A and B are shown apart, each in its own frame.
Chain A
Amino acid sequence: MIEIKHVSKWYGDFQVLNDCTTFVSKGDVVVVCGPSGSGKSTLIKCVNGLEPFQKGEVTVDGVKVGDRKTNLPQLRAKVGMVFQHFELFPHLRVVENLRLGQEKVLGRSRAEADAKAMSLLERVGLTVHARKYPGELSGGQQQRVAIARALAMDPICMLFDEPTSALDPEMISEVLDVMVDLAHEGMTMMVVTHEMGFARKVADRVIFMDRGEIVEDAAKDEFFGQPRSERAQQFLSKILAH
């Protein structure tokens, strides 16, 4: 489904991604972790072309992301993305946030988009907030709306960029619950997160990044059992210590 081959990226002289190669198969949940500044977010943003890269190749569903001829909007419409800071559109009501892409990208009718929006809001338990503005909701609620907004496009896979990092601790689980449900339904997911509990529960593979490199790419049990690299061991001991 998602293939990343020898991707390198520089900001000026600084190399943020160094020869990264990995893949996400259909129905798989792959968790990407690593210390801050290791390039995890940059890597995931290369998948839907939000970040350009200078070397290598990314293909999603057989379509080359870096190719000039690729219709990026069309590709992005099929790839759902959830951001660290939610990025709901604050001038639009919740239901309008869910309708925008459906109407303006997929060309669905107002009624169709509305029905889809309401059923997804019900799914994330936010039906009563449909007419509110994002600013009136809590962080956890906003992130659930953001997930619903991405799902409204009927994506073939979902990208999560640290979806719980900006949340208060008590709101993390309500968002993770939605993500766990999604994973159980067989959604293909690439998730940048520090939530190792989530990784243990639903991940098929775990990728560990450090200084722009993919240091470890292993099945979940293998990764948590005995990580091969020293850097991954240190990272795990740090975040699992408390």
Chain B
Amino acid sequence: MFSNFDWDVIARSLPYLFYDGMVFTLTLTALATAGGIVLGTLIAMMRLGGLPVLPWIAATYVNFIRSLPLVLVIFWFYFLVPYIGQWVTGASRPVQVGAFTSCLVTFTLFEAAYFAEIMRAGIQSIPKGQVAAGYALGLSYGKVMRYVVLPQAFRNMIPVLLTQTIILFQDTSLVYVLSITDFLGAASKVAQRDGRLVEMYLFAAAVYFVISFAASSLVRRLQARVAIVR
């Protein structure tokens, strides 16, 4: 059945697929993960802190974002970000931010809601006694968080955080709704141009599988190495 397939189309389009497509996908994944974890950790701390109103705001944000489909958010943000930029900077017309920036903002804000829940679980997994011991040494709330709670929470949660990152990696393919050339977008364009849909989509699937699978195996090994001795 593969006899009339043209595998050569893959070889010919490799530079385009990887230099244009995969670089975009990986950059977006890496930056959105970093941004999402930082923002998510802040949201988790807001939610768990004893200050008024903040926990409510954080919880509302998380619940709101998590009840929206990602595709919808990507779409919405692409049209919204220029206007938000205009509003923030006070410019006279919508600020053109470009597809990549728009996607980065979207994924960071969207994933932050998920990372926030992971970090919340991580922070809550640290025994109260650890916090008390930090305070007893004279550490402030911020320093207890920074040196005692978050490093432990982060390590406990690394497997879940990386799993979420793998999901994020796969989710970046949804930027196709904006006709952006991510890896899948690139494969799709070649497929349409050369009329080689089956070959290109099979190849794209294989690449996503290999990367995700390798990353999952890495997570398992890493887990053993970073686990805290108890």
Residue ranges of A at the interface with B (Cβ–Cβ < 8 Å): 45, 48, 50, 72-81, 83, 85, 87-91, 100-101, 104-106, 133-136, 149-150, 153
Contacts and interface: CB of A to CB of B under 8 A. Distances in A.
27 contacts: A48-B136, A73-B138, A73-B140, A74-B138, A75-B138, A76-B135, A76-B137, A81-B133, A81-B136, A83-B129, A83-B133, A87-B127, A87-B129, A87-B130, A89-B133, A89-B152, A90-B152, A90-B230, A91-B151, A91-B152, A100-B137, A104-B139, A106-B138, A135-B228, A135-B229, A153-B137, A153-B138
Nearest to B137: A101
Nearest to A49: B135
| Pairs of residues from A and B, 5 with the lowest C-beta to C-beta distance, nearest first | A77-B138, A135-B229, A87-B133, A101-B137, A81-B136
* Chain B interface bracket (under 10, 10 to 19, 20 to 34, 35 or more): 20 to 34
Contacts of B79: none
B147 interface: yes
Contacts of B220: none
Contacts of B230: 90, 135
Contacts of B143: 104-105
Contacts of A101: 137-139
A220 to B, nearest CB: 27
Contact of A105 (B129, B139, B155, B228): B139
Contact of B229 (A79, A106, A133): A133
A100 B138 CA distance: 10
A163 to B, nearest CB: 13
A90 B137 contact: no
A50 B144 CA distance: 14
Q: Count chain B CB atoms within 10 A of each CB in A50, A91, A134 and give the residue with the most.
A: A91
Given A90-B228, A104-B143, A50 B136 contact: yes
Nearest to A159: B136
B191 interface: no
Interface in B97-114: none
A85 B129 contact: yes
B148 interface: yes
B147 to A, nearest CB: 6
B147 A100 contact: yes
